[in-house]
Each structure stands twice: as C-alpha cells, then as structure tokens.
C-alpha cells in the first residue's frame, strides 16, 4: 500500500478556505506529494468554510498524476463526524 501524506487545511490555510490563491497553495502541496509517490489525505478538521473557487483550485490539474477519467473515482470522502471531514486522493501507479 502507498504511503499517505496528510495535509491539514486548517494548519496551512485556517478555518476559512475561500480563495483560489489559497486553493493553489494546497494544489502545490498535493502535486508535490503525488510526485513523490504518496497518496494524499486532505484533512478538513476545524475548517468552517470551503468555497467552490478554493476547491476547484485545490484539485485542478491533478489528472497527470491520476489515470484518465479517474479523478472523481479517486477522491474519497471519509470520517463523516460532525466538524470533521477528510478527502483522500489515491496515487495510482504508472
């Protein structure tokens, strides 16, 4: 099984994840982890707001790291406790 790199949105961005600029920061961290062969667990614990512009920027252009037509199928929501949410991005071997 692949090693998993956890990225805490609260630690990197804070409780409000609302701008495309902040989303790009997360995207850069995700891309670096995937390039290093890790799968990624985005931890939303403590985050109070996520906007579409932030989310779109965070996950854009990940297709080179994932097989064709699989971005939707490799993003898994986990940990549905109140106030806690994680998104898992599975790194697929080439």
Domain ranges of the chain: 4-89
Query: Which CATH number is 4-89's, of 1.10.3470, 3.40.1130, 3.30.110, 2.60.120?
Result: 3.30.110
Tokens of 62: 């990940």
At 3, is the pLDDT very low, low, confident or very high (cuts 50, 70, 90)?
confident
Cα dihedral across residues 4, 8, 29, 27: positive or negative: positive
Between the alpha carbon of residue 49 and those of residues 5, 53, 59, 85, the distances in Å are: 23, 12, 17, 12
Report d(CA 26, CA 31) in Å as an integer. Answer: 9
Q: What is the mean pLDDT of residues 30-49?
A: 88
Q: Which residue has the higher pLDDT, 79 or 62?
A: 62
**Mean pLDDT of the residues in the chain:** 78
Q: Which residue has the higher pLDDT, 66 or 16?
A: 16
């Amino acid at each position: 099984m692949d090693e998993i790199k956890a990225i805490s949105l609260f630690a990197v961005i804070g409780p409000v994840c609302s701008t495309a600029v902040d989303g790009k920061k997360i995207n850069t961290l995700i891309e670096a982890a995937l390039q290093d062969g890790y799968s990624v667990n985005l931890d939303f614990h403590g985050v109070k707001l996520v906007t579409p512009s932030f989310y779109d920027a965070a996950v854009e252009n990940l297709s080179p790291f994932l097989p064709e037509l699989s971005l939707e199928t490799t993003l898994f929501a986990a940990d549905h406790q109140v106030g806690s949410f994680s998104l898992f991005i599975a790194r697929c071997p080439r």
